[in-house]
Amino acid sequence: MTSDVGALDPTRLKELFDLRSGVNEHSGAAYHDDPYPVWHRLREAAPVHRGIVHELTGFAGPAAFQGLPHPEREHFSAFSYAACDAAFRDETVFVSSESAADGRDFEHGIEGPQSSILYMNGKEHRRYRGLVQPSFVPPRAKWWMDNWITTTVHALIDNFAAAGRADLNTDFCAAIPTLTITGSLGIPAAQALDLRASMIPGAIDTAVFAGIVAPAVASRREQPGDDLLSVLVEAELTDEDGVHHRLSDAEIMSFAYLLLVAGSGTTWKQMGITLAALLARPKVLDAVRADRALLRPAIEESLRWTPTDPMFSRYVARDIDFHGMSLPRGSVLHLCIGAANRDPARWESPDDYDPTRPARAHLGFGRGPHVCLGTHVARAEMAVGIGALLDRLPNLRLDPDAAPPRFIGMYERGATEIPVLFG
């Protein structure tokens, strides 16, 4: 693994994972302001507004994301914790697919996100999600750590430990979840960046994606192993008529696509946000270094304070009066969880990053039937990664001669560089 990780092209890592690159432009990478003051004013004015989050925030640049652009539909945005929480929990009114909102059947077999469990609803969603859920429950976190996470983390640190400096964003955070998920799918590290590049929104290359993943699926059909792809290959789905069948290659590819997009596209940014928050607060960092029991609360607080994906969307399946706003069937409700997670009705001093605050459930991983499948794996990646940095890099600190990290992006927020010195 060490040699494989060492072969990763740092220039390509920066191209794919620097939020300022053209690759990330689609989700509002050009937005460099702090949205929270505007979101506070919007939430104070009303829990739900007519319009789209980025437009209400005052950003007119490109910002496609889940539930966007859909110019033919009416759009509404929720900013309070109570409104976002209620929408996440009600899967009968607030659904994840256009087809469900419009009364059409879900279409299977399309390679890419539109055929994944992210866009399924009800019984269908529960059946398909249930196939992989057992691999992501808390007791399986050790399986992920022993097989992929720990080795990857230490191999990445080996790459820069002797240099005395690093950019933790692209040198470290970016590669961990990508290599964790590709490793669990039996994809060599040498192909990991090619696979990630094939899934760039607006430029998805299904031929490259299939060319890398399909041989791995075929290999596991012939000889299953102790990995996630083998779980998918051997899984049996029971349909509504009670008939059992194995997943097709197209269904497995859809699962793989979802896991790669969700797993490698969010955890690296959230880890960077956590590290940037800690490094900017040396006393808090020292406390975490001295007492590792504080690391988990530090991670949870970053998920509340600045979730990397501050907005998710739902389609409205029937007319409803919702928190003071009439939402028509077929419209889109955007859930601004960034604003919801700083609702003063739920948290005292919500703009402060404070890992010692009393724990309360947040919406950083969503809520309800579609709560993030990989929450426990993501938490394990961040805990192992940050813990290893504190173990192996003495006197870890921000480089005083470099620009400090800034949080940028509209629908995918994260740090710019995280320049550090150590030793």
State how far the alpha carbon of 239 is from the alpha carbons of 46, 91, 145, 236, 277, in Å. Answer: 43, 20, 33, 10, 47
- Segment (H or E) for 183: helix 175-184
Instruction: Tell me which of 350 and 5 has the higher pLDDT.
Output: 350
Question: Can you tell me the mean pLDDT for 335-339?
Answer: 98
Average pLDDT over residues 386-404: 97
pLDDT at 111: 43
56 pLDDT higher than 90: yes
The mean pLDDT value for 123-150 works out to 77
Q: What per-residue confidence (pLDDT) applies to 301?
A: 98
Bridge partner residues of 408 (DSSP): 414
Q: What is the pLDDT of residues 285-324, one digit of tens each?
A: 999 999 999 999 999 999 999 999 999 999 999 999 999 9
Separation CA 67–CA 82 (nearest Å): 21
Q: What single letter denotes the amino acid at residue 165?
A: R
Structure-block tokens of residue 280: 């900017």
The mean per-residue pLDDT over the stretch 161-188 comes to: 91
* N-to-C CA span, the chain: 25
Asked whether the beta carbons of 412 and 272 are under 8 A apart, the reply is no
What pLDDT, on a 0 to 100 scale, did the predictor assign at position 62?
83
Beta-carbon neighbour count of residue 291 at 10 Å?
A: 9
Q: Which of 99-103, 192-196, 359-363 has the highest mean pLDDT?
A: 359-363
Q: Which CATH number is 2-421 given? A: 1.10.630.10
Report the alpha-carbon angle 310-273-361, nearest 5: 55
Instruction: Write the DSSP symbol of residue 139.
Output: G
For residue 420, what is the enclosing H or E element? strand 419-421
The pLDDT, as a whole number, for residue 7 is 64
Closest alpha carbon to 398 in 280, 299, 268, 274: 280
Lowest-confidence region among 17-21, 160-164, 277-281: 17-21
Q: Which of 12-16, 35-39, 210-214 has the highest mean pLDDT?
A: 35-39
The average pLDDT across 334-357 equals 97
Q: State yes or no: pLDDT of 39 exceeds 90.
A: yes
Mean pLDDT of the region 155-178: 93
Strand bridging mode 332-335 / 75-78: parallel
Is 416 a residue whose pLDDT tops 70?
Answer: yes
DSSP letters spanning 39-90: HHHHHHH-SEEES-HHHHHT--S----TT---TTS-EEEE-SHHHHHHHHH-
State the burial class of residue 310 (Cβ atoms within 10 Å of its Cβ: 0-12, 13-18, 19+): buried
Q: Of the ranges 58-72, 191-205, 276-290, 338-352, which one carries the lowest mean pLDDT score?
A: 191-205
The residue-averaged pLDDT of 408-418 equals 93
Res. 274: pLDDT tops 90: yes
Residue 71: partners with Cβ closer than 8 Å, 6 or more residues away: none
- DSSP state at residue 347: S
For the segment 80-98, the average pLDDT, to the nearest whole number, is 93
Q: Of residues 283 and 20, which shows the higher confidence score?
A: 283
> Which residues are CB-contacts of 177 (< 8 A; sequence separation ≥ 6)?
263, 264, 266, 267, 268, 378, 381
pLDDT value of residue 6? 63
Is the model's pLDDT at 404 over the cut of 80?
yes
**Between the ranges 38-47, 108-117, 197-206, where is the mean pLDDT highest?**
38-47
Do the Cβ atoms of 109 and 115 come closer than 8 Å?
yes
Q: Which residues pair with 325 in a beta bridge?
A: 322
Structure tokens at 262: 């969700």
Report percent pLDDT > 90 for the chain: 55
Write 194-197 long-range contacts (CB < 8 A, 24+).
Answer: 195/260, 196/16, 196/260, 196/264, 197/12, 197/16
Per the prediction, the chain carries an average pLDDT of 88
| Confidence (pTM) | 0.90
Least confident of 24-33, 35-44, 148-157, 312-321: 24-33
Lowest-pLDDT choice from 109-118, 199-208, 242-251: 109-118
